[in-house]
Amino acid sequence: MSAVVWTAAGSLLAWLWLLLCQGFFWRTDVRLPSRTEQEEWPSVCVVVPARDEAAVLPAALPSLLAQDYPGRAEIFLVDDGSADGTGDLARELARRHGGLPLTVGSPGEPPAGWTGKLWAVRHGIGLARARDPEYLLLTDADIAHAPDSLRELVAAARSGGFDVVSQMARLRVESVWERLVVPAFVYFFAQLYPFRRIAGTGRTAAAAGGCVLLRADSAERARIPDAIRHAVIDDVALARAVKRGGGRVWLGLAERVDSVRPYPRLHDLWRMVSRSAYAQLRHNVLLLAGTVAGLALVYLVPPVAVLSGLAAGRAPAALLGGLAWLVMAGTYVPMLRYYRQPLWLAPLLPFTAFLYLLMTVDSAVQHYRGRGAAWKGRTYARPDAMPDEG
C-alpha cells in the first residue's frame, strides 16, 4: 500500500475518533440548560468594556437597557480610552431609550502586565462591587441581547447551580467571507472545547467572552480578573480559574444573543483569529508544529487523497479519502444549519481549515516579531516579556 493510502486511512481513523469520542462536539443542541422561574430575583450588574465602539453601540446597548428583568439590575459601561466618542454616545443612548440605569466609567491607561480588555473589566467590576450584586454579566459592546436574555441566564445559573453560564453569541454571517469562515470558527472552538464536557467535573473549561454570567462571590474567590490579567484568551482563562476553584461552568450556543460586529473582509477575520491563535498554543513551537501537522492530516489529506487517487487510478486512496471527507462534511452540517447557511458549504471545510492553518502560523510569526497581542489598536508586550506583579 502506498503512503497516500496509509495517510488517508489515518485521516479516516482520526475522523471516526472525532465523530464518536470528542464529546459529540459537532452537535449544536447544547442550549441554555433547564431552568425554573425564580421566587426572588438576585441583583445583577452588567459590565461592558468598550473601546472605540461607536459604530456598533447603537445596535447593541439599547438591547441591554431594555432588559426585562424582575430584580435589580444596573449597567456599567467602561469607556477604555476611546477616541470616537463611545462614552458620550452611550450616555446619549441611555437618555434616549431609558431602561436600566447606566453608569459610564473610564479606567485610564492599563499598567504593565494587563492584556486586552481585562483592565476595563477590572474597573467595571470595581464599580459594580459598590452595589454588592450576586451576579455579574460580562458582555461585549457589540452583543445584542433579546429582552429576556438576562432573566434566562440568571434562571439557568440558579436552577443548575452554575457559577458561570456563558453563551456563544451568534456571529454575523452576511458577507462571503463571513459565511465561509465564521461557522467554521465556532465549529473549531467546539472541537477544542466540547460543550458537553465543560459542564462536567473534568478539566475542560471554557466560556465565550461576549456573554458570561458570573457569580460575584466566585469571581472574588478566583481573583478575577487579577489572576488572569496576562491572558490573551480571557474568556477561557476565566472559566478555568473558576473551575479550578471548585466552581461549576456551563457553555452553549446562543439562540437570541447576537454579535452585530461586521467582518466584511478576509483581513478582518484574519486579524480576529491570528490575534490569539498562537496564545491558544501557549506560544510553544512544538505545539504549533503538531497543530499544523494535525490540521493537515485531518482536514487537508482527505481532498488530496481523493484527487490524487482519481488522477493516478488508485481506488483505495480515493475511497478512504472520500469517506474521511464525507464524515468531515457530515459533522459540519449541524453548524451550518445553526447559522442558516447552505449545506453545499460543508465540502469546502478543508479550504477554510487551510486558511485557519495559515492564520495560526501568522499568529506565531507576529509573536516572534515582538508585536505581542493587540486589542482595539492597543498592542501589549509578549506574555514572556511581562513583569510578574504578584
Cell of 41: 430575583
Q: Alpha-carbon distance 194 to 175, whole Å?
A: 28
The pTM score is 0.94
Determine the average pLDDT of the residues in 310-326: 96
Eight-state DSSP code of residue 28:
-
Determine the average pLDDT of the residues in 11-37: 96
Beta bridge partners of 360: none
Cβ–Cβ under 8 Å, residues 180 and 269: no
pLDDT digits (tens, 9 = 90+) for 215-268: 999 999 999 999 999 888 899 999 999 999 999 999 999 999 999 999 999 999
Cell of 375: 486589542
CATH of 44-263, one of 3.40.1710.10, 3.40.50.2300, 3.90.550.10, 1.20.120.720: 3.90.550.10
Asked if residue 359 has pLDDT above 60, the reply is: yes
pLDDT attached to residue 378: 61
User: Residues of the chain with pLDDT > 90: what percent?
Assistant: 86
Q: Alpha-carbon distance 43 to 315, whole Å?
A: 64
pLDDT digits (tens, 9 = 90+) for 106-131: 998 888 888 768 999 999 999 999 99
How do the domains of the chain map onto residue ranges? 3-24+268-367, 44-263
| DSSP, residue by residue, 30-94 | --SPP----SSPPPEEEEEEESS-TTTHHHHHHHHHT---SS-EEEEEEE-S-SS-HHHHHHHHH
Averaged pLDDT of the chain:
93
Q: Alpha-carbon distance 180 to 182, whole Å?
A: 6
pLDDT attached to residue 389: 33
Asked if residue 335 has pLDDT above 60, the reply is: yes
pLDDT digits (tens, 9 = 90+) for 277-307: 998 898 999 999 999 999 999 999 999 999 9
How far apart, in Å, are the Cα atoms of 121 and each of 1, 13, 31? 57, 44, 26
Cβ–Cβ under 8 Å, residues 350 and 292: no
CA neighbor of 347 nearest in space, from 312, 380, 308, 299: 299
Determine the average pLDDT of the residues in 318-346: 98
Cβ–Cβ under 8 Å, residues 116 and 383: no
pLDDT band of 104, cuts 50, 70, 90: very high
Q: Alpha-carbon distance 348 to 46, whole Å?
A: 39
pLDDT attached to residue 232: 84
pLDDT digits (tens, 9 = 90+) for 361-388: 999 999 888 765 566 666 655 544 443 3
pLDDT digits (tens, 9 = 90+) for 29-80: 999 988 999 999 999 999 999 999 999 999 999 999 999 999 999 999 999 9
pLDDT digits (tens, 9 = 90+) for 201-226: 889 999 998 999 999 999 999 999 99
CA 21, distance to chain mean position in Å, is 23
Asked if residue 390 has pLDDT above 60, the reply is: no
Q: Alpha-carbon distance 377 to 390, whole Å?
A: 27
Q: Which amino acid is at 3?
A: A
